[in-house]
Amino acid sequence: MHPTSDTAAGPVEKPPARPALLLSMAPGIAGRLLDARHRTRLVALARTDPHLVAHDLADPTPAVATALADAEVLLTCWGAPPLTGAVLEAAPRLRAVIHAAGSVRHHLTDACWERGIAVSSAAVANALPVAEYTLAAILFANKRVLHSAHRYRSLRAPHDWQDELAGAGNHHRTVGVLGASRIGRRVIELLRPFDLRVLLYDPYVDAAEAARLGVTPVPLDALCADSDIVTVHAPQLPATHHLLGAHELALMPDGATLINTARGSLVDPAALLPELLSGRLHAVLDVTEPELPPPGSPLWDLPNVLLTPHVAGSLGTELHRLADHALDELERYAHGRPFSAPVLPEHLRHSA
């Protein structure tokens, strides 16, 4: 892409190109994703207006339409509009999409793959905060931190905590990881220093790969039945819809905890709610189905449920990690090198 010239000292790479670039994402995202340092680096790597952000590519403003017609690269993030065939017709020079977030399913279409557009995703960077949240949830759940905090607030008096929490703790507990996705693998990696047994259910991981990961592969029923914690990291696909239903949840031991940081649709809410209302199971839910529980949902007030508003992924300062990853990919592209985290259409059959 960028040829080199030979000298006595060997090949010398020509200066990198500065491709025309357009930002495309939901309103408000760019200001949080890119700080002054990122904007300075962005304009050094690409010909772009860092303050022009396309929120709508189907009916663009004149400024966006002009930038889209010239763009060789789109830098996208959450809320990027779909790249339909009509949009691509208006972007004849487009050669690459660099996504500063995880899944590209929401804005890439078949037309992109047919065009042969190169795609990169920051899914590996976004996996880290989700895995960190999950690790914290696992350790706190086994320690029964939520329960003891509620009880302490209500008692406000001396109490025999050793007796009440005799079954709590992280020594020799079993964690079942559902899905060896990027996040699932990062969770497994973060769990290694702890004295925990880790099971894995993933139909695409064989025994040899499981051994390399340091986990025990098991069927889904066995994972549910044998785990003190079940943590969900499978992609949202038709095959994973309500992957955990009444049968699987009933197999979980009394007092076990379900952690879901993936997608709410992987767990059947009609099956989960009775288990939580009875107090038999505990849950840490960063995602639910629907995404926002109705105001009257028992999930808001159950003492055995920790409900958070889909914050396990990158937020705040963690967004800058996504920007760093995207700009590293842009630099590779400008130098004519392949992306470090390419997304290929065949990847999307089994991933988010």
Per-residue pLDDT 10s for the chain (352 aa) are 444 444 445 445 556 789 999 999 999 999 999 999 999 999 999 999 999 999 999 999 999 999 999 999 999 999 999 999 999 999 999 999 999 999 998 899 999 999 999 999 999 999 999 999 999 999 999 999 999 999 999 999 999 999 999 999 999 999 999 999 999 999 999 999 999 999 999 999 999 999 999 999 999 999 999 999 999 999 999 999 999 999 999 999 999 999 999 999 999 999 999 999 999 999 999 999 999 999 999 999 999 999 999 999 999 999 999 999 999 999 999 999 999 999 998 877 766 5
**Would you list the domain boundaries of the chain?**
21-121+316-349, 126-307
pLDDT at 309: 97
Query: Does residue 350 have an active-site annotation?
Result: no
* Strand, coil or helix: 36: helix
Transcribe 247-271 into DSSP letters.
HHHHHSPTT-EEEE-S-GGGB-HHH
Query: Which CATH code is given to the segment(s) 21-121+316-349?
Result: 3.40.50.720
Q: Which residues contact 125 (CB under 8 A, 6 or more apart)?
A: 314, 321, 322, 324, 325
pLDDT at 14: 55
Read off the tokens for 186.
């990062």
CA–CA separation, 82 and 56 (whole Å)? 9
Query: Does residue 263 have an active-site annotation?
Result: yes
CA–CA separation, 69 and 94 (whole Å)? 8
- Same fold: 21-121+316-349 with 126-307: yes
Q: CA 50: distance to chain centroid?
A: 26
Rg (CA), the chain: 23
Task: Give the domain 126-307 fold.
Answer: Rossmann fold (3.40.50)
pLDDT at 2: 44
pLDDT at 5: 43
Q: Which residues contact 84 (CB under 8 A, 6 or more apart)?
A: 58, 109, 111
Task: List the catalytic residue out of 310, 320, 337, 350.
Answer: 310
Q: Which residues contact 333 (CB under 8 A, 6 or more apart)?
A: 19, 73, 96, 98, 118, 339
Task: List the catalytic residue out of 38, 173, 182, 263.
Answer: 263
Query: Does residue 310 have an active-site annotation?
Result: yes
Task: List the catalytic residue out of 13, 114, 164, 291.
Answer: 291
Q: For residue 215, with 0-12 CB atoms within 10 Å meaning exposed, 13-18 middle and 19 or more buried, which class applies?
A: buried
pLDDT at 7: 44
